Amino acid sequence: MPDPENDLLRKALAKAVAGLPGIGRLSVVEAAADGLTSFKVARDDHGVPRGRRWHSSWTELGGEHAALLRAADLDPEDDVLLVCSSPGSAQADQAFEWLRATRPDAPTLRVDASVAAAITEVLRDDPLTRSYDLVVLRPRTDGTLELTTVPLFPAQARPGATMTMALRCEEGGPDGTAFAVVTWQGQEPQLLSVVSGSLHPGSYNVTAELRRPGRVSFSGLPQLTDDPRGWAELVADVPARLPVRPSDPGHLICAIEVCGPDLKVAERVGRARQVVSTLSDRTGLSFSVVAYGAHSFDRSVKDVPVEVRAWRVDVAAAQDTLDELEERGAITQGYPFHPHAAQVEDMLAVVERRLSRDPASSVALLTIGDRPPHPPKLDASRVLPCPHRHDWRAVATRLEQSRQVVFGAIVDYQSGDRMSRVWRQLGSAALANFDALDLRGLVSGLGLVSDAVPVPFPLIDVEY
């Protein structure tokens, strides 16, 4: 049967804890038959009430008024609740009267009930004062990953609340996949808890349960264990984009500027060869080689069109094509070919046309050159417009949006040079300096290396 005195105590404690502000503290002082116990309750940075206790026996206190008040530790700034849990005990009754005289403003209770047990129940059942969210990754249409959260439990949710969601997990690496719960301080997430485990890639129907304030458990998953990593360490492991899945090995297009001195062309081809060699162990990855030069604006000298030297070939055929391209050397150099721009816009148009006939797959376009594209019409750059009126920005946008093409570039620029907006767009996923090339970083940015890119958080809203 319900215990009326215990219920009265729990209700008084629950009211006191519910009214506890984020920076305040509640002191509950119990005078019992065995001595004086002081409980201190405060909310942590997540709004979770946490309690500590100190106990002193009557023998230790010696029946002294001053010693009792020191043990009670009644800070004037604290909210206070005074409890006599042993009515009829002379020592408890005397201490209770001293405490009431010291804090006449404090609520008081005389009940035959355990204060420690009641506080434990109240803190366990306290409704949330802040919402709890789960950290997830949401893939964008271009394949990049957005760090975001999904709601788990709103403020005022109580223990026992559950929330079920569909999540997908990729390979999580040596630390596994992390299920991180956060609260919010303004616009900044505050890490509440992290558990992680080694999960096989795939879809999971995950149920989160609020066990008590500050504690969330997950079911529908293999065993998870507490993870000691902090927020900065967790976020540092998030890749820029989803890795290439084994069922979609991908397609790398190397577009090489072949105008200018032969030595310069050979260096560009050499950079393409390094990238292809780095990816030689990627089973199923196909390669294309596209060469483009400069426009001629002299009617007596025809343009040399963009050349598709190889399309969707294996690594050996791609290497042979690059050898041939290097041996041939430059195809346009000097007057009357334009000295300050190249057929980048024509190259993009050719790539778009060829891809429109290909099956859907992950595509990375790596442009290796120095000169910017021609604008579609005369602009402030004073570079002559493309004779075919190709708009490189429009074509690049279509490639990115309709085929989710990933753009990388290797460009010759000196330290301290201001990189043009052109190359920042055409190298948006991976932009490398010609003379300081980080091959692994480049191919990772292009999304062509999956085994080295663990995904530390679960994914939401993924279509496979």
The C-alpha angle 220, 223, 228, rounded to 5 degrees, equals 120
Name the strand (E) or helix (H) holding 392.
Answer: helix 392-402
When mean pLDDT is compared across 28-42, 86-100, 446-460, the lowest value belongs to 446-460
Q: How many CA atoms lie within 13 A of 122 on its CB side?
A: 26
Structure tokens belonging to residue 73: 């530790």
What does the pLDDT average to over 49-53? 94
Q: Is the pLDDT of residue 462 over 80?
A: no
Segment 162-221, tens digit of pLDDT:
999 999 998 888 889 999 999 988 888 999 999 999 988 889 999 999 999 999 999 999
What pLDDT, on a 0 to 100 scale, did the predictor assign at position 282? 77
Beta-carbon count within 10 A of 428 CB: 17
Asked if pLDDT for residue 324 goes beyond 50, the answer is yes
pLDDT above 90 (res 331): no
pLDDT above 50: residue 463: no
187 or 126, greater pLDDT:
126
More confident residue, 407 or 444: 407
What are 31's strand-pairing partners?
36, 84
Angle between helices 344-355 and 392-402 (to 10 degrees): 30
More reliable by pLDDT, 422 or 346: 346
Q: What burial class does residue 247 get, using C-beta atoms within 10 Å of its C-beta: 0-12 exposed, 13-18 middle, 19+ buried?
A: exposed
Query: Are 396 and 421 within 8 A, CB to CB?
Result: no
Is 50 exceeded by the pLDDT of residue 464? no
Specify the pLDDT at position 12.
Answer: 92
Overall pTM > 0.85: no
When the pLDDT of each residue in the chain is averaged and rounded to a whole number, the result is 89
Q: How far apart are CA 237 and CA 234, in angstroms?
A: 6
Span 268-310, pLDDT tens digits: 999 999 999 988 877 789 999 999 999 988 877 888 899 999 9
What are 264-275's pLDDT values in tens digits? Answer: 999 999 999 999
Position 142 scores a pLDDT of 74
Q: What angle do CA 286, 144, 242 make, to 5 degrees?
A: 55
Q: If pLDDT is split at 50, 70 and 90, which confidence band does 44 have? A: very high
Helix, strand, coil % in the chain, rounded to nearest 5: 25, 30, 40
**Domains in the chain, CATH or no CATH each:** 4-125 (3.30.420), 132-236 (no CATH), 251-445 (3.40.50.410)
Residue 192 three-state SS: strand
Strand partners, 138: 146
150 is written with which tokens?
A: 């999904």
- Give the model's pLDDT for residue 163: 96
pLDDT band at 1 (very low <50, low <70, confident <90, very high): very low
- Burial (CB < 10 A; 0-12, 13-18, 19+), residue 51, is middle
Nearest CA to 367 out of 415, 303, 420 is that of 420
At 451, is the pLDDT very low, low, confident or very high (cuts 50, 70, 90)? Answer: low
